Amino acid sequence: MRTLLAIFIPLVVCFTGLSSVQAQEILEKLQGIAIIDQKVMMPMRDGVRLATDIYRPKTNDPVPVIFSRTPYNFNSWGDGEVRTRTYERAYEAVNRGYAYVVQNERGRFFSEGEWDILGTPLTDGYDALSWMSEQSWSNGKIGTLGCSSTAEWQMAVAALDHPAHTAMVPQGYGAGVGRVGDYFEQGNWYRGGVEQMLFISWLYRTQHDELKPKLPEGISQQDLQRLQRFYDMAPEYPDVDWSEAFYHLPLQDIIKSHQGPLGVYEKMVRRKPNDPAWYQGGLYHDDMGFGVPSFWFVSWYDVSTSPNLALFNHVRNNIQDREVADNQYLVIAPTLHCRFTRATENTIVGERDLGDARLNYDEIVYGWFDYWLKGEKNGILDMPRVQYYTMGSNKWQTSDTWPPRQAQMTTLYLDSEGHANSLYGDGKLNLGLPSDNQSDSFTYDPLNPVPSHGGNVCCTGNAIEGGAFDQRQLESRNDILVYTSDPLEEGVEVSGFIETTLFVSSDVKDTDFTIKLIDVYPDGRAFNLDETIQRVRYREGYDKEVFMESGKVYEVKLTPMSTSNFFKKGHRLRIEISSSNFPRFARNLNTGGNNYDETEAKVAHNVIHHGKDFPSQIRLPLMKQLKIHTK
């Protein structure tokens, strides 16, 4: 049976597949212990009412509240799968002595108002906390819980420091991170200034059309309870083959070209990384405060691992309230987006066996809430600040910081004789800086991009399967530069942020550069660990666009990657460099134009320079000195 931890496995909804009979069984158990009050229309300060279901213990004593706020359908009178998920989560919470409150964001299903991503205005979260804390059945302490879209709104609300917001457990929360340190992702919309395609397929199946039917304003709770039994405002979206659909140009018309719902996408696709609109909604930015003790859950194969970790560090290191800053805890699991509870004694992520990655998530989550919301002295604060899973050695480890204090940055330099193209080229990763200057060139054709194969991704339908996959077939392409170390004399752990500096040139005004970190096994299998991209026009910052001149060499620092991986003795470290990773990231059409409204592309001839004058490099956080067998 799934537990409350599996809240709304978004951004793609994952069904339990349980039958209506099973849903009825869990409902009967829930009715035995809970007072159920559905379709409570909770008022916001502007008069908009948000549809809310409340499940609370049968007691006259006030109880703490676990609150889940979501854009997804939670109608308990829907199909068997939706009903069962809602009842299971409510039963788990109520059985542990909590009220469980689930609410739709404004403009979603039975909630009034107009929807925007993260449910702006931000005051909705604050007003909901105020309403719940004032109820006679509430003890005034509220914990927020959820993964992905049920987590992403929590950080910005935590910045408002509501007195009832006592603790939170955000999981897979990257789409709520706006600007934090080096990361200007604006809620995962961008990576390095490049659009992440996941939002196209996600919004196709999430945004309700601007012309959707609406219920009358002021409709009563009694009428809503009756209507929800047979009509839940949930649209049915025709299936789309996203492996083909993502290729449509212009980018801004992809949803429209498939007769999909019109809504926020057409507006958001036009925003540049530093558009003022990103700072007016529900995203968390690093100039905001933070007021809530938090237990964070991150995945190595999530779409937003690095900014998630950066936010954890930001709260710990920069928030002035020491009780808050000192009560931030972190788990990093070797799983896909929001698949924490899917880890087994034989966890396979993509094609790679990652061993026994199980962890008792229920005890962590409810131990956290029991301490903060009930005042139980259960020793939860004695847990390590960071619990992280190291792939390769396949074990859980602990640290008081991220990265671990022992990690030392070690530089590996790119080297070749000018022919690093493909797996069969001469690209090398060396500890020493090459004495001579050299370069590797490749052709990037936006109409024949490098396809995404596995990776740190979610929500792209049938276009990409996330996780670790053997990259060798992909590496046979000449538009991928491959740089590989010699075999390791001893195994070494890489744990932390991975930094990259490239010296590049091109014959177009603007292009992208991608990188992928690989663990190469002795038998040749090459498993991807993390990946990133950088649009060159933003190399000097996201508040301006600076274009290239043909033939000139430019220094480009890529957004840091993250991992914890043990490269065993005899393994090799590898990076791939190219200019596309599609449809993980949108294609740069190389024109220097808007990109989102263009249909014509230019072929780019791109160059990576390396050597004494152009020290292209990757910097790895190693837990001990790197020893490479040199031939």
pLDDT in tens, 358-372: 999 999 999 999 999
- Asked whether residue 11 falls in the same domain as residue 33, the answer is yes
Residue 35: its H or E element: strand 34-43
**Does a structural domain hold residue 61?**
yes
Instruction: Please give the DSSP secondary-structure letter assigned to residue 290.
Output: -
**Does a structural domain hold residue 202?**
no
Burial class (CB in 10 A: 0-12, 13-18, 19+), 167: buried
Among the candidates 370, 399, 428, a domain finishes at: 399
Please report which confidence band the pLDDT of residue 9 belongs to, taking 50, 70 and 90 as the band edges: very low
- Asked whether residue 463 falls in the same domain as residue 594, the answer is yes
- Asked whether residue 78 falls in the same domain as residue 153, the answer is yes
The SS3 call for residue 486 is: coil
Say how far apart CA 431 and CA 189 lie, in whole Å. 35
Say how far apart CA 392 and CA 565 lie, in whole Å. 6
Please report which confidence band the pLDDT of residue 625 belongs to, taking 50, 70 and 90 as the band edges: confident
**Does a structural domain hold residue 504?**
yes
Percentage of the residues of the chain whose pLDDT score is greater than 70: 96
**Does a structural domain hold residue 221?**
no
Amino acid found at 520: V
Residue 576's Cβ-side half-sphere holds a number of Cα atoms within 13 Å equal to: 36
Q: What is the pLDDT of residue 445?
A: 98
Average pLDDT over residues 575-595: 98
Say how far apart CA 349 and CA 334 lie, in whole Å. 8
Pairwise pLDDT comparison (208 vs 524), residue with the higher score: 524
Say how far apart CA 167 and CA 164 lie, in whole Å. 9
Residue 254's Cβ-side half-sphere holds a number of Cα atoms within 13 Å equal to: 27
Is 533:555 a contact under the CB 8 Å cutoff? Answer: no
Q: Which residue has the tokens 């490239």?
A: 502
**Does a structural domain hold residue 598?**
yes
Among the candidates 330, 364, 399, a domain finishes at: 399
Say how far apart CA 557 and CA 533 lie, in whole Å. 10
For residue 332, the enclosing domain spans 4-187+283-399
C-alpha closest to that of 611 among 428, 396, 453: 428
Say how far apart CA 304 and CA 189 lie, in whole Å. 10
Q: What is the pLDDT of residue 22?
A: 77
- Asked whether residue 392 falls in the same domain as residue 419, the answer is no
- Asked whether residue 364 falls in the same domain as residue 446, the answer is no
Checking if the pLDDT of 3 tops 50, the result is no
Give the pLDDT confidence of 552-571 residue by residue, as tens digits: 999 999 999 999 999 999 99
Amino acid found at 621: P
C-alpha closest to that of 309 among 151, 121, 417, 177: 177
Say how far apart CA 564 and CA 396 lie, in whole Å. 10
- Asked whether residue 436 falls in the same domain as residue 573, the answer is yes
- Asked whether residue 543 falls in the same domain as residue 444, the answer is yes
Give me 339's structure tokens: 């698949």
Pairwise pLDDT comparison (84 vs 4), residue with the higher score: 84
Residues 6+ apart with CB under 8 A from 274: 184, 542, 543
Amino acid found at 268: M
Q: What is the pLDDT of residue 80?
A: 61
Q: What is the pLDDT of residue 15?
A: 33
Say how far apart CA 566 and CA 402 lie, in whole Å. 16
Give the pLDDT confidence of 15-68 residue by residue, as tens digits: 334 457 777 888 899 999 999 999 999 999 999 999 999 999 999 999 999 999
Checking if the pLDDT of 465 tops 90, the result is yes
Please report which confidence band the pLDDT of residue 5 belongs to, taking 50, 70 and 90 as the band edges: very low
Pairwise pLDDT comparison (254 vs 1), residue with the higher score: 254
Q: What is the pLDDT of residue 234?
A: 87
State the pairing for strand pair 165-171/294-301.
parallel
The SS3 call for residue 315 is: helix
Q: What is the pLDDT of residue 86?
A: 86
Q: What is the pLDDT of residue 17?
A: 44
State the pairing for strand pair 328-336/386-390.
parallel
- Asked whether residue 178 falls in the same domain as residue 84, the answer is yes
Burial class (CB in 10 A: 0-12, 13-18, 19+), 552: exposed
Q: What is the pLDDT of residue 369?
A: 98
C-alpha closest to that of 13 among 80, 81, 108, 103: 81
Checking if the pLDDT of 155 tops 90, the result is yes
Q: What is the pLDDT of residue 81?
A: 67
Give me 501's structure tokens: 């500096």
Q: What is the pLDDT of residue 78?
A: 64
**Mean of all residue pLDDT scores within the chain:** 93
Q: Which of 112-121, 562-571, 588-597 has the lowest mean pLDDT?
A: 112-121
- CATH number of the domain that 55 lies in? 3.40.50.1820
Structure-derived torsion over alpha carbons of residues 71, 76, 82, 84, reported in degrees to the nearest 10: 130
Give the pLDDT confidence of 210-244 residue by residue, as tens digits: 888 889 989 999 999 999 988 888 888 999 999 99
Average pLDDT over residues 398-422: 97
Say how far apart CA 226 and CA 253 lie, in whole Å. 39
Say how far apart CA 176 and CA 358 lie, in whole Å. 27
- Asked whether residue 465 falls in the same domain as residue 388, the answer is no
Structure-derived torsion over alpha carbons of residues 573, 349, 201, 197, reported in degrees to the nearest 10: -10
Question: For the chain, what is the largest distance between any 2 Cα atoms, rounded to a whole number of angstroms?
Answer: 79
Q: Which residue has the tokens 């509501």?
A: 162
- Asked whether residue 512 falls in the same domain as residue 452, the answer is yes
Instruction: Give me the number of domains the chain comprises.
Output: 2
**Does a structural domain hold residue 194?**
no
Q: What is the pLDDT of residue 355?
A: 96
- Asked whether residue 414 falls in the same domain as residue 341, the answer is no
C-alpha closest to that of 357 among 371, 368, 342, 379: 342
Give the pLDDT confidence of 480-525 residue by residue, as tens digits: 999 999 999 999 999 999 999 999 999 999 999 999 999 999 999 9
**Does a structural domain hold residue 51?**
yes
- CATH number of the domain that 413 lies in? 2.60.120.260
Is 426:419 a contact under the CB 8 Å cutoff? Answer: yes
Say how far apart CA 138 and CA 35 lie, in whole Å. 13
Please report which confidence band the pLDDT of residue 79 belongs to, taking 50, 70 and 90 as the band edges: low
Among the candidates 345, 380, 399, a domain finishes at: 399
Average pLDDT over residues 603-620: 98
The angle subtended at Cα 588 by Cα 587 and Cα 593, nearest 5°, is 135
Give me 285's structure tokens: 């930015």
- Asked whether residue 423 falls in the same domain as residue 381, the answer is no
**Does a structural domain hold residue 351?**
yes
Q: Which of 22-26, 180-184, 422-426, 472-476 has the lowest mean pLDDT?
A: 22-26
